[in-house]
Structure 1
Amino acid sequence: MANVPLTGTYTSADKNFTFKITSADPSNGVIAGVYTTNYSPIGAFTSEGNVGHYGWVFSKAQGKDGVAPFNISFGGSQRPNQRPYNIVDSWNGAYLTDNTIVAEGTRSFVNSDGVVEVGSLGTLKFALG
C-alpha cells in the first residue's frame, strides 16, 4: 500500500496556515502532526498531536487503494487552562494526485465575555514545501 499522504509541511496559498504531517496511519486514517495559523481573534496559535484524518477510495484508474485523490480533514484548537476562550479551526477537502490539498476552512471562537465568532476561512490550496 502506498504511503500517502506524504509527510512534510503543507502551506496554504495565502501563507496564513500550515499543516505538518509527521505520520499518517493507513489502518485508521489518523494523521499526526502540527497545525498552525498566523491569525485569529487570539493571534497565531499551534496545535500538535492527532490533527487530521484521511480516507481512501478504490481508484478505478489506478486499479488499487491507497492512492490520491482521497478525502482529508485537518485543523487545530486551543483552550487555555482557565478556559477564557475556545477556538477551533477545521479544514475539509481532498488530497490530489500532485500532492497538494484543496480544502475549505471554517473557524469558531467563543470567549468568556460571550463573544461568538463563526466564519469561513475560504477555499485554499495547500502545497508541500
Structure 2
Amino acid sequence: MANVPLTGTYISSDKNFTFKITSADASNGVIAGTYTTNYSPIGAFASEGNVGHYGWVYSKAQGKDGVAPFNISFGGSQRPDQRPYNIVDSWNGAYLTNNTIVAEGTRSFVNSDGVVEVGSLGTLKFVLG
C-alpha cells in the first residue's frame, strides 16, 4: 500500500466522471491532475491542475500513519473568460485500502441569465482504471 493515493485514472462506477491523479504531495495533501465529467448543463468539461486534497489518520490496524483508509476530496470548475456561467463539482469521500474511492458529489451551476442549479451527483465508487 502506498503512503499516498496511487497515481492513475479513477473512473466512476457510472462512467460519467474521471479523476486522474498525476501527483500527490504528502507534505500538504495536494493532489494534482485532471477532473472530467461527461455531462453538465454546459456539456462535458475538464479541470486540470490542483484538483484535490487528502489527509490521513493514524492506522491502529497497520500501526502507522500515511496509509489507507484516508479522506480525499476532488473536483473541478469552469468559468469562461466572458463569465456567462460558473460550474463547480465537488466530491468528498474516502480512499480505501483496495485503492478505490467512495465519494459523494455535489454540483452548483449559475449562469448570466440567473439560472441556478444545485444538486447531488450521488455516492459513487471510483476504480483505478
Q: Give the TM-score taking structure 1 as reference length.
A: 0.98
**1:4 deviation in Å?**
1.5
Is the CA contact 2:3–2:68 (under 8 Å) kept in the aligned structure 1?
no
CA RMSD of superposed structures (Å): 1.0
Unmatched tracts of structure 1, length 5 or more: none
Secondary structure at the aligned position of 2:68 is classed as coil
Give the number of equivalent residue pairs: 129
Match of 1:69 in 2: 69
Match of 2:10 in 1: 10
Unmatched tracts of structure 2, length 5 or more: none
Q: Work out the CA distance in 2 between the residues paired with 1:111 and 1:24.
A: 33
Q: Work out the CA distance in 2 between the residues paired with 1:87 and 1:23.
A: 24
Runs of 4+ deviating beyond 3 Å: none
Q: Give the TM-score taking structure 2 as reference length.
A: 0.98
Is the CA contact 2:47–2:77 (under 8 Å) kept in the aligned structure 1?
yes
Q: Work out the CA distance in 1 between the residues paired with 2:48 and 2:3.
A: 21
Cα offsets for 1:92-126 (capped at 9, x unmatched): 00000000000000000000000000000000000
Map 1:19-98 onto structure 2 (within 5 A). 19-98=19-98
Q: Work out the CA distance in 1 between the residues paired with 2:23 and 2:64.
A: 21
**1:2 deviation in Å?**
4.0
Cα offsets for 1:53-107 (capped at 9, x unmatched): 0001000000001100000000000000000000000000000000000000000
**1:3 deviation in Å?**
3.6
Secondary structure at the aligned position of 1:92 is classed as strand
